[in-house]
């Protein structure tokens, strides 16, 4: 018997923790399609427009705005209301003349922060993997599903961050995961906190790499996958 494929419906009570979903206001929620982010760390574009930004009173009105090409994500027009968007994505809405960047709040949920026009032209990405192709080029795989090819070798490793130009993906600068670097916590009980790296403890086959951080007068540890190097406080 052939496979039926993925489910098309999503109940509100089963939505990931990353959504600010009001579970008692209805039964169904928008379900994300496969894309650059997994379902557990992203929200559908239609949910952002309708529920977080109030672009339209319902999903139908949000779909109209998308169908007219008024909404772009990271410099590219997106028309599917189920398209998944995640941490540090830049969403621009034509007509409203507003630009937003997605960040985590202190409860580990994604929210949209309005940004200046000049800041919508770049985005930070975390390097998840690095390898050399058969043609000698360096390939960087980032947290938002990008594959960036670099002609010249760059001193980068998994956990480091890069700032790219949108939508060209040109690398503007690199940020190392090292002592003294500023970071944003994207997972665990400290999600949403801004901190400074104090120490990096190497991992092993049995245990992950740990990072010791300081946020104000508080010090804590978390796994390296929860740390996103930003290189700046804001």
Residues 60 and 107 in one domain: yes
Residues 110 and 201 in one domain: no
Residues 78 and 139 in one domain: no
Q: How many domains does the chain have?
A: 3
Residues 55 and 129 in one domain: no
Residues 107 and 79 in one domain: yes
Distance CA 121, CA 134 (A): 32
Q: Which domain holds residue 155?
A: 121-175
Strands of the chain (E only): list them.
Answer: 10-11, 28-29, 42-44, 71-73, 76-77, 84-86, 90-93, 98-104, 110-115, 122-132, 138-142, 147-150, 161-165, 171-175, 182-185, 194-201, 210-215, 218-223, 227-229
Question: Tokens 């169908």, residue?
Answer: 67
> Do the beta carbons of residue 209 and residue 122 sit within 8 Å?
no
Average pLDDT, the chain: 89
> Do the beta carbons of residue 109 and residue 193 sit within 8 Å?
no
Q: 3-state DSSP call for residue 147?
A: strand
In this structure, how many other beta carbons lie within 10 angstroms of the beta carbon of residue 90?
A: 21
- Give the chain's residues under pLDDT 70: 1-6, 232-234
CATH number assigned to the domain comprising residue 164? 2.40.50.740
Residues 33 and 89 in one domain: yes
Give me the torsion for CA of 227, 77, 20, 144, rounded to 10°.
Answer: -20
CATH number assigned to the domain comprising residue 219? 2.30.30.30
pLDDT at 16: 82
CATH number assigned to the domain comprising residue 103? 3.10.290.10
Q: Is 234 within the bounds of a domain?
A: no
233: Cα within 13 Å, side-chain hemisphere = 2
Q: Is 1 within the bounds of a domain?
A: no
Which of 160, 192, 186 minimizes the C-alpha distance to 174? Answer: 160
Residues 14 and 111 in one domain: yes
């Amino acid at each position: 018997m052939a496979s039926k494929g993925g489910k098309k419906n999503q109940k509100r009570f089963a939505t990931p923790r990353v959504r600010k979903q009001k579970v008692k206001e209805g039964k169904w929620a928008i379900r994300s399609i496969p894309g650059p982010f997994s379902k557990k760390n992203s929200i559908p574009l239609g949910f952002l427009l309708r529920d977080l930004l109030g672009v339209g009173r319902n999903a139908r009105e949000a779909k109209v705005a998308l169908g007219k090409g008024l909404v772009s994500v990271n410099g590219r027009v997106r028309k599917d209301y189920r398209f998944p968007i995640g941490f540090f994505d830049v969403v621009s809405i034509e007509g409203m003349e507003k630009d937003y960047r997605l960040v985590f709040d202190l409860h580990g949920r994604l929210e949209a922060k309005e940004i200046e026009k000049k800041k919508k032209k770049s985005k930070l990405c975390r390097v998840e993997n690095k390898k050399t192709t058969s043609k000698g080029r360096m390939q960087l795989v980032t947290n938002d599903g990008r594959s960036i090819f670099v002609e010249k070798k760059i001193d980068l490793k998994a956990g480091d961050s890069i700032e790219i130009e949108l939508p060209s993906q040109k690398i503007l600068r690199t940020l190392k995961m090292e002592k003294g670097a500023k970071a944003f916590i994207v997972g665990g009980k400290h999600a949403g906190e801004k901190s400074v790296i104090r120490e990096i403890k190497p991992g092993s086959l049995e245990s992950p790499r740990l990072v010791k951080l300081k946020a104000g007068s508080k010090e804590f540890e978390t796994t390296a996958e929860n740390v996103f190097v930003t290189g700046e406080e804001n």
